[in-house]
Structure 1
Amino acid sequence: MSSTIIAVLGTLAGAVVAGLMQQLTTARAERAAQAERRRQALVEAVPGLLAALVEYRGHQYMRLRSLQEHVPETPEERKARYASRGAVTHAMDRLYMATRDQALLDAAQAAMDTTFAFEPHDRTDDAVGEQAREAHSAFRLRAAVYVYDHR
């Protein structure tokens, strides 16, 4: 009788341990899947912001050239330039939803701020454009390091 009780207790203990191990494994797998989803969201958000920054700088550069050549901006060109600025803001919002890493967000903000600092009506020299490109590159590098270090 005592051997039967010991066998039943052993079976119950084994079932409890197996259940706990299954729960731990499931929780670990869920955390890994969630981390991969976050990483993938970041992998999508970063190039989106980089592309939007390039697009906006392109519009600003074309506006500067038009001013230098005394060519007035058309309503369509203005609308496209404003839309590209909005695309930068939208891309930045997506980045904020993809990460809480403050250093990465700071690098993105610096890239955005230096890009927005280039205003064609100021007839800004190439230094501002160079600063924007440098901030863009710094953000790209910071993001790449972050993505590959958080695999």
Structure 2
Amino acid sequence: MVTAALAIVGTLLGAIVSGRYQERAADRSVRVSHSEVLRRERLEAVTALACAVSDHRRAMWLRGDALLRQAPADRVEALRSESHETRSAVTRPLVALRILIEDHEVRAAADRVVTLTYAIRDAYESADALSEAREAAKDAHDDFVNAAARYLAT
């Protein structure tokens, strides 16, 4: 009788221990999966912002160049419309980045690249000013990508 009771208790304890191991393994798997999904979403936010800012920088430079070259009004208006669309496209990935990434360096670099890209609009007085603004925005873009790469590598 004692032997049977010990066998039953041993079986129950074995089932409990085995269940706990399986539960821990499942929890670990969920944590790893969640971390990987979050990392992918962060990478997507960074990539989308970098692309949107590049598109806007190009649109703003083309618009400024057209103004400086005194392009026809319909061309300038078309470029103005394009720059409005590309500026609007910056908002979504910037918001996603702010929600998904709390790192101060990445956020500061994102703010800087957006600010300097938007500032191209204020450099339409000369070709030199336009080129300088464009180069400053390109450098800020590279700094942003590098800061994000360091953050995502950890």
What corresponds to 1:109 in structure 2? Answer: 111
Which amino acid is 1:145 matched to?
R
Displacement of 1:98 in angstroms is 3.4
Displacement of 1:120 in angstroms is 4.8
Counterpart Cα distance in 2 of 1:80 and 1:86: 10
What corresponds to 1:61 in structure 2? Answer: 61
Counterpart Cα distance in 1 of 2:76 and 2:63: 10
Deviations 1:31-67 (CA, angstroms, capped at 9, x unpaired): 1001111111122221211111111111111111112
Q: Does 1:139 align with 2:144?
A: yes
Counterpart Cα distance in 1 of 2:82 and 2:57: 12
CA contact (8 A) 1:111 1:132 kept: yes
* TM-score of the two chains, using structure 1 as the length reference: 0.87
**Aligned CA distance change for structure 1 residues 74 and 122 (closer, same or farther; 3 Å):** closer
SS of residue in 1 equivalent to 2:102: coil
Q: Does 1:128 align with 2:130?
A: no
CA contact (8 A) 2:116 2:140 kept: yes
RMSD, aligned α-carbons? 1.9
Displacement of 1:121 in angstroms is 5.8
CA contact (8 A) 1:63 1:120 kept: no
What corresponds to 2:18 in structure 1? Answer: 18
Displacement of 1:3 in angstroms is 2.0
- Structure 2 matches for 1:36-51, cutoff 5 A? 36-51=36-51
CA contact (8 A) 2:50 2:141 kept: yes
Which amino acid is 1:7 matched to?
A
Which amino acid is 1:113 matched to?
T
**Aligned CA distance change for structure 1 residues 107 and 121 (closer, same or farther; 3 Å):** closer
**Aligned CA distance change for structure 1 residues 15 and 2 (closer, same or farther; 3 Å):** same
Identity %: 28
CA contact (8 A) 2:49 2:93 kept: yes
Any runs of at least 4 consecutive aligned residues in structure 1 with deviations exceeding 4 A, and if so which? Answer: none
Deviations 1:54-98 (CA, angstroms, capped at 9, x unpaired): 111111111111121122354332211100000011221232343
CA contact (8 A) 2:113 2:141 kept: yes
* TM-score of the two chains, using structure 2 as the length reference: 0.86
More displaced 10-residue stretch of structure 1: 31-40 or 62-71: 62-71
What corresponds to 1:118 in structure 2? Answer: 120
Which structure 1 residue ranges, 5 or more long, are not aligned? none
